[in-house]
C-alpha cells in the first residue's frame, strides 16, 4: 500500500492529431501576422510550443526550423534571420537574440 506507483498515461491519439493540426494553424497565423505585428506572431509560436509540451506532441520537422530555439521568435529569412552554410551545416543566425542554430544537410 505504501509503495504504489502511479503510471503516466499518454493522451488519446485523436487528441494528439487535433493538437498537431492546431500547431500547424498557429504557425500559419504567425506567418500571416508577421508583417503587421511581430509580437503577436511570436506569441502564436509560444502557444504552439506549450500545446506540444502539454500533449507530448512533437512539432513537425518542417515547422521546427521556423522559430528560434532560444528566444522562440518566428523567423523570416532576410528580415530577422541570416542563413549561411558552413562545413556541411546550415547555420541560422537569429537577429532578435543574436544566437546561432546549426542543422546538418
In terms of phi and psi (left: phi > 0; alpha: psi -120 to 50; beta: otherwise), the region of 72 is: left
In a domain, 7, yes or no: no
Q: Tell whether 37 is covered by a domain.
A: yes
Confidence band for 5, pLDDT divided at 50, 70 and 90: low
**Alpha carbons 88 and 104: distance in angstroms, whole number:** 6
Q: Examine residue 89 and state whether it is found in any structural domain, yes or no.
A: yes
Question: Other CB atoms closer than 10 Å to residue 68's CB: what's the count?
Answer: 22
At residue 13, the pLDDT reads 87
Quote the pTM value.
Answer: 0.85
Q: Establish if 49 belongs to a structural domain.
A: yes
Q: How many folded domains does the chain comprise?
A: 1
Check residue 10 and give its pLDDT. Answer: 75
Cα 7 to Cα 4, 53, 54, 55, distances in angstroms: 10, 18, 17, 16
Instruction: Quote the domain boundaries for residue 96.
Output: 13-104
- The whole-number average pLDDT for the span 43-62 is 95
In a domain, 22, yes or no: yes
CATH number reported for the structural domain that contains residue 23 in this entry: 1.20.5.420
**Structure-model confidence comparison of residues 84 and 2, the more confident one:** 84
71 belongs to a structural domain: yes
Amino acid at each position: 500500500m505504501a509503495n504504489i506507483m502511479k503510471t503516466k498515461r499518454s493522451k488519446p491519439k485523436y487528441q494528439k492529431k487535433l493538437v498537431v493540426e492546431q500547431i500547424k494553424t498557429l504557425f500559419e497565423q504567425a506567418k500571416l501576422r508577421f508583417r503587421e505585428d511581430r509580437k503577436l506572431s511570436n506569441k502564436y509560436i509560444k502557444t504552439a510550443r506549450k500545446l506540444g509540451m502539454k500533449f507530448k506532441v512533437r512539432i513537425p520537422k518542417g515547422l521546427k526550423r521556423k522559430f528560434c530555439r532560444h528566444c522562440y521568435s518566428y523567423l523570416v529569412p532576410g528580415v530577422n534571420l541570416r542563413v549561411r552554410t558552413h562545413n556541411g551545416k546550415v547555420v541560422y543566425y537569429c537577429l532578435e537574440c543574436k544566437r546561432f542554430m546549426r542543422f546538418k544537410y
